[in-house]
Structure 1
Amino acid sequence: MMIEIDFNSDEAIYIQLRNQIIMGIATSDIQEGDSLPSVRQLADTVGINMHTVNKAYSVLRQEGFIQLDRRHGAVIALDIDKIKALEIMKQQLVILLAEGRCKNISREEVHNLVDEIFEGYE
């Protein structure tokens, strides 16, 4: 999995890292049981601070995407609580859809966009 950080982005680096790891899982570039690089190794490879990688890994652990183990490091281990995941997704979508509605984005356009995105995961 290739991690690319946009240092000019307004998005925090640890969030960019988190998002890219989640995208790697969604697209099967990385799978359940795969180990992620150590904090130091990933920080050196990407050229970022170790604390930034540690924060991204911590967020991923809290969100149920990885487990942290002293012997094996960060390992992809999905906590599949579908009900909780759907509730979080709904909270995020409420705002995104409201923003789209304010900009005259139609239901059909949203459905087409969702279908297009899901096709990228297959």
Structure 2
Amino acid sequence: MDTRYPALITKALEGGFCVRFVDLDEAFTEGDSMEEALFNAAEVLTLTLEGRLSEGIEVPPPSRSVRGARYIAPDAKTQGVLLLRAARGERSLAELARALETSWPQAKRLEDPHHWPSLKTLDRAVRVLGKRLVLSVE
């Protein structure tokens, strides 16, 4: 699963660049330069996704093949939460906790964007879900 979200970037009339995310109406930002706009976009994407996850609001999957869009990733913690949730699918947190032989609160922490699980823990969680953790650097 790819956790990068499509963003449309336009030149602002007063200078700089405006960025808005196709799948997240509340996520938009700007920057004086393209570099600053992309940095701010990653920040606002992370904050928007963290907010939705913390408040129990649905997080839509990223749209694919959006013409003219730049695909932007949230921070690694948020990506981990999104990937684990996708791997868990319809299984409950209680089922995940039992498979990991841990408590429900410990399993829930794995899906908390403010918690930073180790790679070992994340790998173990996805393995019990029948998946494989794959890392990438861009």
Does the TM-score normalized on the shorter chain lie above 0.5?
Answer: no
The structure in which a higher percent of residues are helix is: 1
The structure in which a higher percent of residues are strand is: 2
* TM-score bin (small chain): 0.3 to 0.5
TM-score (structure 2 length as normaliser): 0.30
